[in-house]
Amino acid sequence: MIIVGITGFLLRGGFNRGIDFLGGSLLEVEFEKEVNVSEVREVMNELGYSSAIVQMVKTDLVQTESNRFIIRIKAKELGEPISTEEKEQILGLLDERIGVVGQPLQDRTVDPGFSRVLINNALMAIGISIAGILIYVWIRFEFRFGAAAILALIHDVLVTLGIYAILNREINTSTIAAILTIIGYSLNDTIVVFDRIRENTPLTGRLGYGRVVNDSVNITLSRSINTSITTLFPVVLLLILGTSALKDFALALTIGIISGTYSSIFFASPILVAWNNRFPKYKK
Amino acid sequence: MRNKKVHITIIVIFIIIVGVSLYYILTEPINLGLDLKGGTQIILKPIQSSEEEEIPESKLDRTIETIMERIDRLGVSEPLVTKDYHNNIVIQLPGVEDPDTAKEIIGKTAELEFRLVMGTFISISKQKWEFIKFDYKKGQLLIDPDSEKVLLVDDINAMTAGETFSIVGELITEPDTQEMLLVEYEEGSQEEDGQDNDTEENPEADTGIETDKVIGKIIYNQETRELQLVDYQTGDVSGEVLVDSRTGAATMVEKVFLTGDDLARAVAGYDNYGAIRVALSFKGEGVEKFAEITSENIGRNLAIVLDEEIESAPYIKVPIEDGEAEITGIDSIEEAKNIEIVLQTGALPITLKLEESSTVGPTLGRDSLNKGLYAGIAGLILIIAFMISYYRGLGLVSTISLMIYIILFWGVIAGIGAALTLPGIAGIILTIGMAVDANVIIFERIKEEIIKEKSPRVAVGDGFRNAMRTIIDSNVTTLITAAALYRFGNGPIRGFAVTLSLGVVISMLVSLLFTRSLLFLMAGVPRIATPGFMGVRTRRSE
């Protein structure tokens, strides 16, 4: 899975970083009639924004025309976000050619300097939560549990990011929040399994550590699956029904929940066994 | 039995809390975030001037006060102005009609200065003259390389209108040092006629410059980012180059003699001739100073400078004793109103830079809210259906717990007035899943104990004891993540962190106290506490 993710990352030449991370402007406009992407792009090209990303807001999967569009102009190409006048110019021409309804539905501008602050904050939040969790699990369990748990959640984060790279979905602050949630959630799953392993560890002498881990995973299996299913219900519904921003969030959560369940069973637990076999503390 | 009493008390307490929550839900409207109700969020970063290590707290607070006052005058209801931990100023304006104007007014420094005009720079080439532009960012005068001469003329209005004006000085580049020197113009060559633009024959600029004629040299001050006129010998600053907003021309002005601090009032309106203006009146010392300067400098122009740009530069005809002045040459009455707002509220003590602005229209916000709630309710129904079909009677118990959890959660959000944001909705949906998780962990444990042929009451007791540790451990890790998000997140992400941590804590309380007591009481009733009720098939194949 990680390999798939990394391959996707390499194929796409990196992530599709949103304006939160590059700086730039985002406009969501509603038109008087339904048009297709190329009609909007034509207007943008005419004004010299050939690098602008024009995205159609769909209400179902098959439609090819819509009256709602999201236009992203990244500051990367221009050095700084578009000014108020340039924005007026874009909206003016769109109105002239297609016809815009009222004020933009969404209008966002991020300074490239500020986006660096956002990235730092995101990295800081991820780093601190990982460190906090490692310490907590270390105190409550043992260091190797903490390490295995962290490896499992790194796996989950990589898988989610990889799938984002493959789908060429935009990474923005919502995605980062979702990834942090996945970190918490994945840990949740892993800990339930580890808890049972800890409880059954006294049986190691009789059964062997691998067996203990295996039994623990089996016992908690129905719980793991049930929990994932119940959490996935609303999240998947959000993915289907939600607005674009909610969908972004829900996609990351969906991937993370599935990956989190899978990783605590097939990834974190084997690591624990392997670790144990290398440092045979429990083999009597 | 004492235990039973404890459990009944816990349940009664929960019923009371549910009642209180319902009261809050019904009386307090949920505080929606800007991304759900529509509105504009602006993040402004203070620009540090190089002398200060750090921006003092008091300056930042005064800036926020001024911004609040400006927002009040814009007529925005329920604005929210806060500092984030980078000392950025975060402004939330619900439902603003014209976010671009709001942005401009709020972030404007509005430093008002009154300075005497020394003159305007023009370049002369091939019998024609033109204004010299000034690049603020680089601190450079943009002089056409073809220009033969750069002159400073005292009354550009008169010159354009073809009336009498004087040439005050000439800008010369020192051949040796490449310094730009402003030298006094030779006597006798003044009083030119503006209509024929050719200048009188002057002897070619001397190669050696007579230092007694040098008014000063022009130097770009890196620290203050000003192009200054400094004394040739002492280095004292005697003037500064500014841009005239009406012509775009580089203009030399003297030192500031009066600032916006001495202003009593600014009112936008029309003058007697119907021209748009902002009338200014000074207070106290300002009136005296203004009278003194105007009486001493009759015949000169007075520059009214707003944020380093000359707004207008009226000609002083008579001494102004009453402390009244006006800014003219404004394009629209809206612009005049905006100037009125920024001048009335006073200058910001700090210069601010726009870092991020985000506007969500009310329709999009409502759409997100509805769709989020819709997904939440549909998800809830699916969860309940799943839980009842899988865990039978226990599923019913978890449904009750889940309902109580949702009521408590909603009640707390309404009660503390936390803002519900878009990521917040996602957080709620996630915590619903996690609240069920606690139940699943407990039920699985109880089922295990039942399978071990324990009595229902013992099974519930043992099952809980085992599940408790797991639930606490797994929820604490989520809380750690939520805390990190809260600390480093901004706006909506913070909303998510708040809902996530509230959800985790409340769901833990509900499952560890309420669900537990309910199950204990039920386990005491033999007709209810059958293995079938616990979701264990009576005819097991194991």
The alpha-carbon radius of gyration of chain B (Å, integer) is 37
A191 contacts on B by Cβ (under 8 Å): 470, 473-474, 477
The ipTM assigned to this model is 0.78
pLDDT in tens, B146-170: 777 888 887 777 777 777 777 888 8
> What residue spans in chain A does CATH classification 3.30.70.3400 cover?
24-110
Q: What is the DSSP string of A47-113?
A: TT-TT-EEEE--SSSS-S-EEEEEEEEEHHHHSSPPPHHHHHHHHHHHHHHT-B-SS-SEEEEE-HH
Question: B192 pLDDT exceeds 60?
Answer: no
Domain B39-107+354-359 sits in CATH 3.20.20.70: no
Q: Which tens digits make up the pLDDT trace of A67-88?
A: 888 888 877 555 677 777 788 8
- The 10 Å CB-count burial string (b at 16+, else e) for B274-312 is eebbbbbbbeeebbebbbebbeebeebbbbbbbeebbbb
Q: Which of the four pLDDT bands, split at 50, 70 and 90, describes residue B385?
A: very high
- Beta strands B149-153 and B302-306, pairing class: unpaired
In 10 A of CB B117, how many CB atoms? 26
Interface touch A113/B355, C-beta < 8 Å: yes
Q: Start-end ranges of CATH 1.20.1640.10 in chain A?
A: 113-278
Residue with the bigger pLDDT between B204 and A209: it is: A209
Topology of domain A24-110 in CATH is: Alpha-Beta Plaits (3.30.70)
Q: How many CB atoms lie within 10 A of CB A135?
A: 12
Nearest to A192 among B427, B436, B441 (CB): B441
- The top-level CATH class assigned to A113-278 is mainly alpha
- Residue A4: predicted pLDDT: 60
DSSP string, B19-44: HHHHHHHHHSPPEE-HHHH-EEEEEE
Region B77-92 average pLDDT: 83
- CA separation for the pair B113, B308 (Å, rounded): 8
The pLDDT confidence band at residue B193, using thresholds 50, 70 and 90, is very low
Residues A141 and A268: beta-carbon distance below 8 Å? no
CA distance B411 to A72: 39
* Whole-number pLDDT of residue B199: 44
- Which chain B residues touch A87 with a CB distance below 8 Å? 100
Among B353, B386, B496, whose Cβ lies nearest the Cβ of A177?
Answer: B496
pLDDT in the model for residue B390: 85
| All structural domains of chain B with their residue ranges | 2-30+361-523, 39-107+354-359, 112-329
Provide, rounded to the nearest whole percent, the portion of chain B with pLDDT above 70: 90
Q: Is the pLDDT of residue B194 over 50?
A: no
Helix axes B362-416, B491-509, angle to 10 degrees: 40
- DSSP letter assigned to residue A266: I
Candidates 2.60.120.10, 3.40.190.10, 3.40.50.150, 1.20.1640.10; CATH matching B2-30+361-523: 1.20.1640.10
Contact check, Cβ <8 Å, A223/B99: no
End-to-end CA distance of chain B: 36
pLDDT in 10s for each residue of chain A, 284 residues? 556 656 655 555 566 677 777 788 888 888 888 888 888 888 888 888 888 888 888 766 667 788 888 888 877 555 677 777 788 888 888 888 888 888 888 888 888 878 777 778 877 888 888 888 888 888 888 878 888 888 888 888 888 888 887 777 777 777 777 787 777 777 777 888 888 888 888 877 777 778 888 888 888 888 888 888 888 888 888 888 877 777 877 888 888 888 888 888 787 778 877 877 776 554 43
Chain A residues whose CB is inside 8 A of the B478 CB are 184-185, 187-188
User: Which of these, A15, A273, A275, A270, lies nearest to A158 by C-alpha position?
Assistant: A15
Q: At what angle do helices B422-451 and B362-416 cross, to 10 degrees?
A: 50
pTM given for the model: 0.72
pLDDT classification of B533: cutoffs 50, 70, 90? low
Q: Per residue in A204-237, pLDDT tens? A: 777 777 888 888 888 888 888 888 888 888 888 8
Residues of A in contact with B427 (CB under 8 A): 181
Chain B residue with minimal CA distance to A242?
B371
pLDDT of the residue at B500:
85
Q: Are B103 and B359 in contact (CB under 8 A)?
A: no
At B404 the pLDDT is: 92
Q: What is the pLDDT of residues B355-369, one digit of tens each?
A: 888 888 888 888 888
Measured CA distances, B70 to A86, A148, B46, B417 (Å): 26, 55, 17, 25
Q: Which amino acid appears at position B198 of this protein?
A: D
The whole-number average pLDDT for the span B422-449 is: 81
Asked, colleague to colleague, whether B2-30+361-523 and B39-107+354-359 share their fold, the answer is no
Sign of CA dihedral A71, A75, A79, A80: positive
pLDDT value at position A51?
80
Tell me the average pLDDT of chain B: 81
Element at B505 (helix H, strand E)? helix B491-509
Angstroms from A33 CA to nearest CA on chain B: 17
The residues that bridge with B192 in the sheet, in sequence order, are B165
> Which of A188, A226, A246 is opposite residue B477, by nearest beta carbon?
A188
